[in-house]
Structure 1
Amino acid sequence: MNTINDRIFGVLMIVLAVAYGWGATQFPEPFGGTEVVGPKTFPYLLAVVLGLSSLYMVVRPDPDNAWPWSRTGVELIIALLVLVLYAALLQPLGFIISTTLAVGTLCWRMGARPLNAFITGALAGVVVFFLFNFALDLSLPLGLLSFLEVG
């Protein structure tokens, strides 16, 4: 019975991967249209990874996948809530603050000391922000930190 649950979930995730990939095709072309890395690249990559992972789950389900109703199950629910809040707060708070809060909270829930967890979150937010904005030339929302915007 547990293997059928994995297969059903895998099929649903394949449908989600296809829908996500199709949604990425609806993004407007960047100005000039000759960029190799554009706004569609990351969603395409996520859709492929999700699709392949889901296909693996359909083909080779875990024979013993009882739901962890112990502390692990609670931690998974907390992680899911943190990620939903992260997505909701990304625009209003901005990438750096939202990432600091999300990564910091997840690190803390995994056992890091709170100060170390949130320092890690802040470093991750700043490094990824600069990587996307300056190395990949893809803008991320600044939100509350919009006063730092150049030009």
Structure 2
Amino acid sequence: MTFNDRICGILLIVLAVAYGWGASQFPVPFGGSEAVGPETFPYLLSAVLVLSSLYMIVRPDPDNAWPWSRTGVELIIAVVVLLLYTALLQPLGFIISTTLAVGTLCWRMGATLAKAYMTGAAAGVVVFLVFNYALGLALPLGVLSFLEAG
């Protein structure tokens, strides 16, 4: 069933192009001459997704049945979690949204609730600190905006 991989590859290329176009719509930073701007990481992700998708189209897996059993349900749940994550990123902020999304996905993969959400919280805080302080790229704080200095 190489047809499934090819359809998925084409859909992922469409997603990658839309993602790259969305990154091109970011406002230009003051001065505009920075080598690394807010669009750099999305551009890299978009390029990797295009290359991976092209590989799926050119060299599909010869035996890839769609997982309509429990695995298919888990994939649908993962997509719903990621869509909710995107919708809640601004209002709740990066740390809380990431805690909920990563925690839920870890739980669905078999971790206990406590371990899953502790992992989500650690991931949210660590990635937030790396982006805000090491990379200088601001992530939304949402309901935690009272933590902003200033």
| TM-score (normalizing by structure 1) | 0.94
1:2-13 alignment, distance < 5 Å: 2-13=1-12
For 2:31, what is the secondary structure of its paired residue? coil
Q: Using the TM superposition, give the Cα deviation of residue 19 of structure 1 relative to its aligned residue in structure 2, in angstroms.
A: 3.0
Contact 1:101/1:118, CA 8 A, preserved across alignment: yes
Query: Following superposition, which runs of at least 4 residues in structure 1 exceed 3 angstroms of deviation?
Result: none
**In structure 2, what is the equivalent of residue 142 of structure 1?**
141
> For 1:7 and 1:69, how far apart are their aligned partners in 2?
18
1:86-97 alignment, distance < 5 Å: 86-97=85-96
Question: Which structure 2 segments of 5+ residues have no match?
Answer: none
Q: Number of aligned pairs?
A: 150
Q: Using the TM superposition, give the Cα deviation of residue 42 of structure 1 relative to its aligned residue in structure 2, in angstroms.
A: 1.3
| TM-score (normalizing by structure 2) | 0.94
Question: Which structure 1 segments of 5+ residues have no match?
Answer: none
**In structure 2, what is the equivalent of residue 33 of structure 1?**
32
**In structure 2, what is the equivalent of residue 51 of structure 1?**
50
Q: Using the TM superposition, give the Cα deviation of residue 5 of structure 1 relative to its aligned residue in structure 2, in angstroms.
A: 2.6
**In structure 2, what is the equivalent of residue 98 of structure 1?**
97
**In structure 1, what is the equivalent of residue 18 of structure 2?**
19
> For 1:98 and 1:61, how far apart are their aligned partners in 2?
34
> For 1:5 and 1:148, how far apart are their aligned partners in 2?
47
Identical aligned pairs, as a percentage?
79
> For 1:74 and 1:16, how far apart are their aligned partners in 2?
22
Contact 1:37/1:136, CA 8 A, preserved across alignment: no
**In structure 2, what is the equivalent of residue 117 of structure 1?**
116
Give the CA RMSD over aligned residues: 1.2
> For 2:54 and 2:68, how far apart are their aligned partners in 1?
26
Q: Using the TM superposition, give the Cα deviation of residue 71 of structure 1 relative to its aligned residue in structure 2, in angstroms.
A: 1.1
Q: Using the TM superposition, give the Cα deviation of residue 113 of structure 1 relative to its aligned residue in structure 2, in angstroms.
A: 1.0
Higher mean C-alpha deviation, range 63-72 or range 17-26: 17-26
